[in-house]
């Protein structure tokens, strides 16, 4: 993101843990105060004083959180918020001197995550930012936990969709549950007893061949070698092993 001649930028921190913050604020004194304070708190801050300039240079992949004023030259904050939400899913905090409930509601409806009325003390602003970042982190973690990826294999736990090498794999509910259980325990040998209990909810009696039959069908659908399976391996005398590195 390259600011124009009216903008200022704090050089990005060398620490990979720096939070990349975009501040869009036309009050130069306030922008400088916020920038300098947050820079001390491990934020890499980029400042724009015009809404249109900020939007023109915006790159969602380079921003972790946005502070956005409402009253801006070039384009107002509500318009910017609407445009940012087309490509950006991170936290947006609106910082404004306007205290109207209508503005607050509109900002939140257009995608803002929080609304702070000026004046605000820097430590309070920092606390609000950290709260938004924590919430975003939990959301991202939950989302990532809903999808398991091993090379070309993608398992969406929420939609029950399995894709291998770009092609959808049609699995029954029990086959999907079996695959999920194996994948969540990738690298660990699971006994037939463990698997049977997991997918049927009852103890394995040592005689039922249900597990072996389902593993065989699952291998076939996942293009595993029937004679020498390498994706879901048989560990003789112990059980089955889901190989995380075998899905190229």
Q: Is 50 left (phi over 0), alpha (psi -120 to 50) or beta?
A: beta
**CATH number among 3.20.20.140, 3.40.50.740, 1.10.10.10, 3.30.1490.20, domain 147-242:** 1.10.10.10
Q: What is the pLDDT of residue 143?
A: 59
More confident residue, 15 or 222: 222
pLDDT in tens, 82-109: 888 888 888 899 888 766 666 667 777 7
The span from the CA of 114 to the CA of 103, in Å, is 12
Q: Which CATH number fits domain 8-145: 3.40.50.2300, 3.60.110.10, 3.40.50.1580, 2.70.98.40?
A: 3.40.50.2300
Q: What is the pLDDT of residue 9?
A: 42
- Band (pLDDT 50/70/90 cuts) for residue 51 is very high
pLDDT by residue (tens digit) across 109-138? 777 888 888 888 899 999 999 988 988 777
What are 6-38's pLDDT values in tens digits?
A: 344 433 333 345 899 999 999 999 999 999 999
Q: How confident is the model at residue 207 (pLDDT cuts 50, 70, 90)?
A: low
What is the per-residue pLDDT across 165-180, written as a single tens digit (0 to 9) for each?
A: 989 999 988 889 899 9
Q: How far apart are CA 242 and CA 189, in angstroms?
A: 8
Which residues make Cβ contacts (< 8 Å) with residue 77, sequence separation at least 6?
24, 51, 68, 69, 70, 71, 94, 96, 107
Q: Which two tokens stand for residue 205?
A: 């009696």
Q: Indicate the domain borders of the chain.
A: 8-145, 147-242
pLDDT at res. 24: 96
Query: Can you give the pLDDT at residue 145?
Result: 72
Q: How many CB atoms lie within 10 A of CB 90?
A: 17
């Amino acid at each position: 993101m390259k600011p124009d001649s009216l903008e200022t930028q704090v050089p990005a921190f060398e620490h990979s843990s720096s939070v990349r913050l975009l501040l869009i604020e036309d009050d130069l004194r306030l922008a400088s105060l916020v920038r300098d304070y947050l820079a001390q708190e491990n934020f890499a801050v980029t400042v724009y004083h015009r809404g249109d300039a900020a939007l023109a240079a915006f790159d969602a992949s380079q921003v972790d959180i946005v502070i956005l004023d409402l009253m801006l030259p070039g384009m107002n904050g509500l318009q910017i918020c609407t445009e940012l939400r087309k490509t950006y899913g991170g936290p947006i905090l609106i910082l404004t001197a306007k205290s109207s409930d209508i503005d607050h509601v509109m900002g939140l409806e257009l995608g803002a995550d929080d609304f702070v009325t000026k004046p605000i003390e820097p430590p309070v602003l920092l606390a609000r930012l950290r709260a938004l970042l924590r919430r975003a982190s939990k959301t991202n973690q939950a989302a990532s936990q809903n999808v398991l990826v091993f090379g070309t294999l993608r398992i969406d736990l929420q939609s029950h969709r399995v894709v291998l090498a770009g092609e959808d794999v049609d699995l029954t509910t029990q086959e999907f549950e079996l695959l999920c259980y194996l994948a969540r325990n990738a690298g660990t040998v699971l006994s037939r007893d463990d698997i049977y209990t997991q997918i049927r909810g009852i103890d394995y009696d040592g005689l039922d061949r249900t597990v072996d039959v389902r593993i065989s069908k699952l291998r076939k659908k996942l293009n595993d070698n029937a004679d020498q399976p390498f994706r879901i391996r048989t560990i003789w005398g112990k059980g089955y092993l889901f190989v995380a590195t075998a899905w190229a």
